[in-house]
């Protein structure tokens, strides 16, 4: 009897040990980010010396409280992978029970059951896209909301979605640099007050204040700032001075060119030197109606005036000083009188004939008029010359 008692006591233990030969999957976790829910587990074939497949199911929490037979919904059935995606089956605001077991050669491991609430247990993902652009000495940060598995914004699921932006100087340029933080609910923000031509690194984190959720930081993005597009005062002053110098140079060059051109034209048309006295006298004594010399036209009435001039040898001329003086005076008077009457100079006057020759011609006219010494002049006369002037 004592032995049978022991057998009775050992029978349940032996049965449990036989049923426990197929262990349950280990390290069951649910990786939930936004609306993606993936169950993962471990299975060591070397430790169990068996290959297995797995079955995963879920049940809404409100159905578990019902009486009677409960029907679980299978999501993954006898799969060889060590993960199962529940994302298409679960609602973000629901509460569920998830369970998993291993199967091998008709044997099944016990179910491992987990309670899961996506709203509370799922992590909030970082912004799906971050763009950092340098604009006039500032950084422009554009954010794209975290996305659901249906490619919609998580802002529809999360009522108070906020972003934490952290930025600092690049550590390679500055070993000790403070981290600056900005919180915003906007999808675009301008970071100002930065140093010009400096590299800044930016990363962004999504926040949900209601459930105190914090996403992982987005990848770090570094950008170099530029200037603000406005020239510094010293550069403006330098450009102004250069412009003034260039303008003055152009003005001086134009003035110099105008001055040289003016002098050239003036020298060509208005010379500074005076005309010779004989030419100036000829111009001043012109008896024409105009003040300037004019050419005679064909239509002008012309009158030919001639004078008989006799040329005598110089050795046959014996004239006293008194006669020469008187004759010179008469010649000058006679010449001026003829010039006033005819309006044109005689060819003898102003033609460069020597004075003594003029005197001889005048003496001959005087002697001819008075009838004195006619025989002496006729004997010594060599030739006769006719002097003509044109009278208009």
Low-confidence ranges of the chain (pLDDT < 50): 1-19, 287-289, 298-302, 316-329, 331-353, 355, 358, 369-374, 376-392
If asked whether residues 142 and 191 sit together in one domain, one would say: yes
3-state secondary structure of 242: helix
DSSP letter at 105?
T
Contact 351, 378 (CB under 8 A): no
CA distances from 77 to 18, 111, 270, 370 (A): 24, 14, 119, 171
Residue with tokens 């108070």: 160
Residue 52's pLDDT is what?
Answer: 92
**299 lies in some domain:** no
If asked whether residues 143 and 190 sit together in one domain, one would say: yes
If asked whether residues 116 and 134 sit together in one domain, one would say: no
If asked whether residues 85 and 137 sit together in one domain, one would say: no
**40 lies in some domain:** yes
- CATH code, domain carrying 92: 2.60.40.10
Mind listing the pLDDT tens digit for each residue in 219-239?
999 999 988 767 677 878 888
Mind listing the pLDDT tens digit for each residue in 41-81?
999 888 778 889 999 999 999 998 877 788 999 999 999 99
Question: Domain boundary residue among 178, 193, 225?
Answer: 225
If asked whether residues 98 and 142 sit together in one domain, one would say: no
If asked whether residues 99 and 133 sit together in one domain, one would say: no
**187 lies in some domain:** yes
**56 lies in some domain:** yes
Residue 267's pLDDT is what?
Answer: 79
Question: Domain boundary residue among 176, 207, 225?
Answer: 225
If asked whether residues 114 and 88 sit together in one domain, one would say: yes
If asked whether residues 98 and 135 sit together in one domain, one would say: no
Question: Domain boundary residue among 177, 192, 225?
Answer: 225
**196 lies in some domain:** yes
Contact 184, 141 (CB under 8 A): no
If asked whether residues 170 and 194 sit together in one domain, one would say: yes
Residue 117's pLDDT is what?
Answer: 96
Mind listing the pLDDT tens digit for each residue in 277-289?
777 777 666 544 4
- Whole domain around residue 206: which residue ranges? 129-225
Of the candidates 149, 134, 112, the one whose C-alpha atom is nearest the C-alpha of residue 38 is: 149
Residue 270's pLDDT is what?
Answer: 75
Domain count, the chain: 2
If asked whether residues 219 and 137 sit together in one domain, one would say: yes
The pTM for the full model equals 0.56
Residue 235's pLDDT is what?
Answer: 79
Q: How many residues does the structure list for the chain? A: 392
Alpha helices in the chain (DSSP H): 2-19, 45-48, 61-64, 118-121, 233-269, 277-284, 321-342, 355-370, 374-380
Residue with tokens 């100087």: 169
Residue 237's pLDDT is what?
Answer: 86
Residue 306's pLDDT is what?
Answer: 57
Strand partners, 306: 388
**109 lies in some domain:** yes
Tokens of 337: 């009188």
Measured between alpha carbons, how far is 215 from 198 in angstroms, rounded to an integer?
28
If asked whether residues 60 and 78 sit together in one domain, one would say: yes
**244 lies in some domain:** no
Helix (H) or strand (E) holding 391: strand 383-391
**234 lies in some domain:** no
3-state secondary structure of 139: strand
């Amino acid at each position: 009897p004592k032995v049978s008692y022991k057998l009775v006591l050992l029978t349940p233990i032996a049965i449990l040990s036989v049923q426990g030969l197929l262990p349950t999957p280990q390290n069951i976790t649910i990786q939930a980010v936004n609306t993606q829910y993936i169950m993962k587990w471990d299975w060591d074939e070397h430790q169990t010396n068996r290959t297995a497949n797995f079955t995963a199911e879920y049940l809404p929490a409100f159905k578990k409280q019902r009486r009677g037979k409960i029907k679980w919904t299978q999501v993954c059935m006898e799969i060889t992978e060590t993960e199962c995606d529940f994302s298409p089956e679960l609602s973000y605001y629901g509460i569920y029970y998830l369970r998993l077991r291993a199967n091998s050669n008709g044997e099944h491991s016990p179910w491992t059951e987990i309670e899961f609430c996506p709203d509370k247990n799922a992590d909030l993902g970082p912004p799906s896209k971050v763009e950092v652009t340098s604009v006039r000495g500032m950084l422009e940060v554009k954010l794209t909301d975290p996305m659901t598995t249906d490619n919609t914004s998580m802002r529809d699921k999360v009522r108070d979605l906020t972003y934490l932006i952290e930025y600092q100087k690049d550590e390679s340029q500055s070993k000790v640099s403070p981290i600056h933080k900005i919180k915003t609910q906007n999808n675009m923000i301008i970071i100002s007050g930065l140093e010009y031509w400096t590299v800044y690194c930016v990363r962004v984190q999504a926040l949900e204040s209601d459930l105190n959720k914090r996403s992982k930081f987005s990848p770090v993005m570094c950008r170099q700032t530029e200037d603000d597009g406005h020239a510094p005062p010293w550069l403006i002053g330098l450009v102004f001075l250069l412009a003034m110098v260039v303008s003055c140079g152009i003005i001086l060059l134009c003035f110099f060119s105008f001055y040289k051109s003016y002098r050239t034209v003036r020298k060509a048309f208005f010379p500074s030197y005076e005309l010779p006295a004989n030419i100036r006298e000829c111009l001043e004594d012109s008896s024409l109606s105009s003040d300037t010399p004019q050419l005679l036209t064909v239509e002008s009435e012309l009158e030919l005036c001639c004078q008989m001039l006799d040329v005598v040898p110089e050795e046959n001329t014996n004239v006293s000083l008194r006669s020469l003086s008187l004759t010179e005076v008469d010649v000058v008077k006679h010449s001026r009188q003829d010039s006033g009457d005819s309006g044109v100079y005689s060819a003898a006057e102003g033609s460069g004939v020597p004075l003594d020759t003029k005197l001889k011609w005048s003496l001959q006219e005087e002697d001819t008029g008075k009838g004195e010494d006619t025989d002496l002049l006729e004997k010594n006369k060599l030739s006769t010359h006719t002097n003509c002037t044109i009278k208009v």
